[in-house]
Amino acid sequence: MAANVLNEKNGQNGENIAFEVILKPATPNGPRKTPKSSPRPLSQEEIKRKLLDAADRRKSVEAEKLKKIQKLQERGEEAREKVQELNNSFQAETQRTLEAKMGALEENRNAQILALQNKLRERIKKVEDVRQASEKYTKELAERIEKKLEVSDENRKSQMKNMLDRLKEHEKHVQEVLETSQSVEQEKKEKMILKMNEVLQNKNNLVQQMLDKLRDHDKRVEEVRQRVKLLRSFSEEDNKENSTEQTENE
C-alpha cells in the first residue's frame, strides 16, 4: 500500500527520527455499508400498484395502436375519396366529350341532309324549267304548225307528221331526262343513306370505346378498393397479434 508522509520529527540529539504515516485518508462522508438482507415479500398495495401500472402501460400501447389503425383508416378513406373523385371527374369529362362528339356528329348529319335537300331542290327546279321550256316550245311549235297548215293543205299532213314525230322524239327525250334525273336522285339518296349508316356505325363504335374505358376505370377502382380492404385486414391481424403478445408478456 502507498503511504503518505505527513510530518518528519528530529530528536533533540539528532539521533532518533520519527515519521507519521497515514495508510488511507479518512472518508467521513462516504456511504455506509449495510448488511445484505433477504428480499421481503410484496404487499397487496404494491402488487395492486404494479398491476395498475401494467394496465396503464397496456392501455397506452393499445391507444398507440388504435391511433396507428385510425391513421391507416383515414389514409384509406382519403385514398377512396380521391379515387371516387377521380372516377367522378373522369366520368364527367368522358360524358362531356361524348356529348360534344355526338353534338358535332348531329350537326354534321343535319348539315349534310340540308345540303342534299338543297341539291334536290335545285335538281327539281332544273327539271321543272326543262318541262316548262318543253311545254312552251311545244305550244309555239303547235302554233307554227297551225299557221303552216293554213298556207298549204297538202304540206299540212306531211309537216304535221314530221312535227309530231319531232314532238314525240322531244317528249321521249324529256321523259328520258326526267327518268335519268330521278335515277340520279335515287342513287344520291341511297349513297346518302349509306353514308349516314356509316356515320351512325362510327358513332356506335365510339360509344362502345367510351364504355370500355369506363369499365376499365371501374375495374382499376375496384382493385384499389380491394387493396385498401387487404391493408385494413393486415392491420387488424397485426393488432390481434400485438394484443396477444402483450397479454402473454404480462
- Mind listing the pLDDT tens digit of every residue in the chain (250 residues)? 444 444 444 444 555 666 555 565 555 555 555 555 555 677 888 888 888 988 889 999 999 999 999 988 888 888 888 889 888 989 888 988 888 888 888 888 889 899 988 988 898 988 888 888 887 887 777 777 667 666 666 666 676 677 778 777 877 777 777 777 677 777 777 888 888 788 788 878 887 888 888 888 888 888 888 877 787 777 777 666 666 666 666 5
Distance of CA 59 to the CA centre of its chain: 44
- CA–CA separation, 52 and 43 (whole Å): 14
Give the type of residue at 151.
V
- Burial call 172-196: b when 16+ CB within 10 Å, e when fewer: eebeeeeeeeeeebeeeeeebeeee
Cell readout for 162 is 314530221
| List of long-range contacts for 72-79, beta carbons under 8 Å, 24+ apart | 72/231, 72/232, 72/235, 73/232, 76/228, 76/231, 76/232, 79/224, 79/228
| C-alpha dihedral (98, 103, 109, 113), degrees to nearest 10 | 160
- CA–CA separation, 134 and 212 (whole Å): 61
- CA–CA separation, 229 and 57 (whole Å): 30
Q: What are phi and psi of 5, to 5 degrees?
A: -90, 115
Ranges of each domain in the chain: 59-240
Q: What are phi and psi of 18, to 5 degrees?
A: -125, 145
